[in-house]
Structure 1
């Protein structure tokens, strides 16, 4: 009996090992990268530097683009790990923790909707999703959103067996979704809860009415406490958050006219591969009598509710579509054992051939970057990434070789089962990230980090007085505050008119045109990036 239990536990242990091999590399050991990650780390650093907990603050200025759940948790982690990790590494580990929670709840939901074997299949589909690969390793609040969405889905599924426990988890997940990114995502989950009894008879029991009340009560503290604190402490910031970053997401936009409706459907084919064809197969199999079954109705409503609301927004971005991967993974897991042998074999061989090409390309490009062979490719790569000094790093090379060896060994040991294509693909995606994190982390970090550029600019800054800024993006403002404690004053603010220095961001095709009173003392950009340029000017003292 004990041997049988151990034998049954082996697939789950191997899945856990694969998840950790996919998730852990890249969470620590590099600078904050441009874009959303730099901004998120800026919020955490501001909170640790004394900013009010209820007011999202970036480089000394209130910026309520998202509720602060991720910032709060990451700041607590950074404090607890301050003796071992930097703030940005601790923040990224926090994101990884939320992603791990999302994987756990997705697996549990799949077990409830289908069977125990389907739990790990949903996890394999999720870590195999192309769109999640990079985002799962970034310090962004959408990682907490994924955890909230997955918890809510598990609560909806558990409602069929333990209504009140499921209701508490669903309400908590809705609240986490709201406190992570905003009202739209929480509204999508509430819409799912309302539509489930309409579509699926399994949720039409009398006990579900009482459970719905428990769900609302569980969600209310998440939905009300922080907005009330923000309103009490900063009514103007609350109004900005509500009208601009909440209701404003639905405002009509000429620039994006018609784009929101189609955007998410146009990027999902690559973003959610290989989940979407498997999910479509599940819907096709259920088209006659199975659409109202829990295993179809729940993920389908979660997907359609969020897609419908996202399509009405004026700020379509792929990062907003991350929660769409969760219901697609559930549908895909449910279809695995009904997939025809020819289709399963095609996916398996496609995975094997794709990642063999990935292995070959990775080693060739690594050799060009760090060894200088072949010379022509090396010259081209260093033209793309100027200033990067290649170096042979034995530990990183050994790690990359271990990933390659493990993937090839897994392929040789895999038996021909319905699970084989998903395992091969998820392992290939894990291999891809392992190679990227071991062989290319240093050149990518040089390109994506503001640190070296800020360091080169620092000697040109005035020793006294403020620094004004013009067109400076939020990520750069956050990193100036993070790396050198510099908080610039935007042009147009009341206190910047007497600043002796001005930092300007511009595009290389549109150089700044300033008054003759300003003299350029520094110009730079992130290595290899020419579209995003920066120039520092000092005010020329004129004689009277």
Structure 2
């Protein structure tokens, strides 16, 4: 293979090796070290900061500010929202109050759906920053931390995928922009939920797998250079390895046996450590995924790692097996310590977590009890074309337009196999939600960025202008809605179209600091529109990602109190707390029937009352009963009288009612209060 026809990284390797081996010494020039010093270049007397360096530093500061804004806007400033945030906060609050870090417990009830890694981190941050922030805001900082790590390892993966060492390469930044502006990512990485940690673990494991394969390909080329053998290409035929077992059992030739040159010895040492580091990241990422949501992603990583030797020649080596053993060793503490502690605490709870929530949700025998069934056809396809916009369609285009032809290259095969295995398993699973696609969005972002080069110039221009028109209207509409809601209540009917989701009787107030931040977001968005026209084939990506981020930022600054009032349980439960306070005694308790896993922790947060679940018709010694049901509901049987009723402002379907055990006086008080609250 010639230098010109070699892949990019092979060419750099050959150039480096030849340059080092051919580097002349001082004697070859006929001079000494003193002569060299005499002919040395004069000292650089230019200012320590040039104009170009100053601009570069400003650009770097701009990148940092954009990332910080992306991580924090949407994370801070609102109560836990239904569905995932509420029960996640219930688990965190239980850990903070009781110190029980083994059994995840939500509002007094064991919640064994997911392992507690995210809850541990969130509880630690809540304990650390809770004195300055609301406890749920401090806990939600865990999502910002995990997302920052996700972006870091996605950037590393993009550099491997696109074969570039530059951190500010347009393809790397484009990958991050596509990922961050994908709908399912933008929504959920700002939520208080364990899937954010799962995304981090999956991205870290993906990077480890890609880096491991690249390190083995480097070592393979170094072996060929050291032995003067032809350099193997990434697409070498499978016929060179008769069987997979034979390839793994063949002893690898050690550098000492080949007596390599000094330059090659120096060149190969970093690759050996690179493979070890890659195995560490692979094991650590898989372990984080395991402790975030169970065995699903570790299973996908394991299947993809086992499939790689069939398509990547560099993986048919004992060194690959050794690296996988290292990764397995790093993974095992995550897979054993907490499960063993849980089993020691309660074998029944361990079975509920491992068998029912992991195995049962996949095969379906526990779906009827646990919910979240997958009863819709083509779930994965529909998700890729809806929630995963824009990376879903672009990734499909990137694969069919040539990505599959480079399958023998390790950095292409590793993410492609990871996504194919994961989406296939997800498609046949009995349980599925759109958020379950989240761990595979980094792979989609890699192939989506690769597809950009395949699109014609007219597409980029069209994408740019369509985004400008649509999002300019969206930005204008947000500012107009803010102006209406901060004005006279008489004009709120102008927004009648939003009344289905947002109550129009709310008086919106905006602090001056939030207003200034919203103005800054709008100005930054307008500036990015000017820069997008000079971004070449990335102009559509820049316009899309900047516009999506601007709309998100304006909603979560200007309209956040209004949205929070609609989605939070604060107003109904604070009303209940005020109503029940004169009648509640220290000996009282509150039984519950059909109270949801999202509503129960909010009841405890805003009223301080921990419910005691009972079945239908089951007797209880409590004087109070709380029931969640449809709007039309008969009074529960027994001596219960209505006391209070309410609902979340943005929910017209589910009503929460509180009953009190009847006495003669209670019948008069309860009937009057129920009439007022309905």
Structure 1 residue aligned with 2:181: 128
Q: Is the Cα–Cα contact under 8 Å of residues 506 and 512 in structure 1 kept in the other structure?
A: no
1:169 corresponds to which residue? Answer: 281
Q: Which residue of 2 aligns with 1:227?
A: 339
Secondary structure (helix, strand or coil) at the match of 1:49 reads: helix
Paired position in structure 1 for 2:644 = 522
State whether structure 2 residue 578 is matched by structure 1 residue 459: yes
Q: What secondary structure does 2:598 align onto?
A: helix
Q: Helix, strand or coil for the counterpart of 1:474? A: coil
Establish whether residue 251 from structure 1 lines up as the match of residue 368 from structure 2.
no
| Alignment partner of 2:432 out of 296, 308, 316 | 316
Alpha-carbon distance between aligned partners in 1 of 2:618 and 2:588, rounded to the nearest angstrom = 11
C-alpha deviation, 1:350, in angstroms: 2.3
Alignment match, 2:80 = 32
Q: CA deviation at 1:337?
A: 3.4
* Alignment match, 1:64: 112
Residue aligned with 2:626, SS: strand
Deviates more, 1:118-127 or 1:440-449: 118-127
* 1:423 to 2:535 alignment: no
The alignment status of 1:108 with 2:227, answered yes or no, reads: no
Show the counterpart of 1:397. 515
Give the structure 1 partner of residue 552 of structure 2. 433
SS of residue matched to 1:419: helix
Secondary structure (helix, strand or coil) at the match of 1:522 reads: strand
User: Which residue is 2:100 aligned to?
Assistant: 52
Task: Please give the alpha-carbon distance, in whole angstroms, between the structure 2 residues aligned to 1:382 and 1:5.
Answer: 52
- Give the deviation of 1:381 after TM superposition: 4.7
Q: 2: distance between equivalents of 1:515 and 1:85? A: 44
Shift of 1:12: 5.4
**Greater mean deviation of Cα atoms: 396-405 or 41-50:** 396-405
The worse-fitting range, judged by mean Cα deviation, of 494-503 and 353-362 is 494-503
Residues in 2 aligned to 1:484 and 1:273: alpha-carbon distance in whole angstroms = 41
Number of the residue aligned with 2:400: 284
Per-residue deviation, 1:102: 0.7
Ranges in structure 1 where 5+ consecutive residues have no aligned partner: none
Distance 2:570 2:154 in 1: 37
Alpha carbons 2:485, 2:492 under 8 Å: kept: no
Segment of structure 1 superposing worse, 441-450 or 451-460: 451-460
Pick one of 529, 536, 550 that aligns with 1:411: 529
Tell me if the contact between 1:386 and 1:528 (Cα under 8 Å) persists in the aligned partners: no
Within the candidate set 473, 490, 494, 1:377 is matched to 494
Compared with structure 1, are the counterparts of its residues 261 and 177 closer, same or farther at alpha carbon in structure 2 (3 Å cutoff)? farther
CA distance in structure 2 between the aligned counterparts of 1:411 and 1:181, rounded to whole angstroms: 39
Structure-1 separation of matches of 2:306 and 2:316? 11
Q: Per the alignment, do residues 147 and 382 of structure 1 end up closer, same or farther by CA in structure 2, a change over 3 Å counting?
A: same
CA root-mean-square deviation: 2.5
Q: How does 1:61-210 map to 2 (within 5 A)?
A: 61-114=109-162, 115=164, 116=166, 117=169, 118-159=171-212, 160-161=214-215, 162-210=274-322
Deviations 1:37-68 (CA, angstroms, capped at 9, x unpaired): 01111111000111521111111221111000
- Looking at structure 2, the residues matched to 496 and 45 of structure 1 have their Cα atoms a distance apart, in angstroms, of 29
Partner of 2:591, secondary structure, is: strand
Residue aligned with 2:644, SS: strand
Q: Does the aligned pair in 2 maintain the 1:59–1:478 contact within 8 Å?
A: yes
Q: How does 1:251-400 map to 2 (within 5 A)?
A: 251-252=363-364, 259=375, 262-286=378-402, 289-372=405-488, 376-378=493-495, 381=498, 384-385=502-503, 387-391=505-509, 393-400=511-518
Structure 1 stretch displaced more, 10-19 or 335-344: 10-19
Displacement of 1:276 after TM fit? 2.1
Instruction: Say which is worse superposed, 22-31 or 497-506, in terms of deviation.
Output: 22-31
Conserved in 2, the CA contact under 8 Å of 1:351 and 1:428?
yes
Change in Cα spacing, 1:119 to 1:13, as seen in structure 2 (3 Å) is farther
Structure 1 CA distance for aligned equivalents of residues 376 and 303 of structure 2? 19
Q: Which one has more relative contact order, counting CA pairs under 8 Å at least 6 apart?
A: 1
For 1:499, the equivalent position in structure 2 comes to 622
Match of 2:659 in 1: 537
How far apart are residue 201 of structure 1 and its match? 2.9
Q: Relative to 1, partners in 2 of residues 1:7 and 1:331: Cα closer, same or farther, differing over 3 Å?
A: farther
Q: Contact 1:260 / 1:313 at 8 angstroms: preserved in 2?
A: no
Between the aligned partners of 2:634 and 2:535, the Cα distance in structure 1 is 62
Alpha-carbon contact 1:520-1:538 (below 8 Å) kept: yes
Separation in 2, partners of 1:143, 1:496: 41
Closer, same or farther in 2 for the Cα pair 1:13/1:207, shift >3 Å?
farther
1:5 and 1:338 map into 2 onto residues whose CA distance is 33
Q: Is 1:485 aligned to 2:604, yes or no?
A: no
* Length, aligned pairs only: 542
Separation (CA, whole Å) in 2 of partners of 1:432 and 1:221: 42
> What is the rounded CA distance, in whole Å, between the counterparts of 1:395 and 1:9 in structure 2?
26
Distance 1:382 1:340 in 2: 42
Q: Distance in 2 between matches of 1:202 and 1:422?
A: 35
Question: CA–CA distance in 2 between the matches of 1:441 and 1:366?
Answer: 10
Q: Which residue of 2 aligns with 1:444?
A: 563
Q: After TM superposition, give the deviation of residue 20 of structure 1 in Å.
A: 2.2
Q: Provide closer, same or farther for how the CA distance between residues 240 and 289 of structure 1 changes in structure 2, counting only shifts above 3 A.
A: closer
- Distance of 2:649 and 2:541 partners within structure 1: 38
- Cα offset for 1:82? 2.6
Give the Cα separation in 2 of the matches to 1:351 and 1:382.
Answer: 27
User: Does the CA-based 8 Å contact 1:92-1:139 persist in structure 2?
Assistant: yes
Query: Any conservation in 2 of the 1:480–1:487 contact (CA below 8 Å)?
Result: yes
1:361-408: CA deviations, max 9, x gaps?
A: 212222232224855414565674154223354433332222111111
Counterpart of 2:594 (choices 452, 471, 476) is 471
C-alpha displacement of 1:298: 2.2
Structure with bigger gyration radius: 2
Structure 2 stretches lacking a partner, 5+ long: 1-47, 216-273, 666-678
Which moved further from structure 2: 3-12 or 215-224? Answer: 3-12
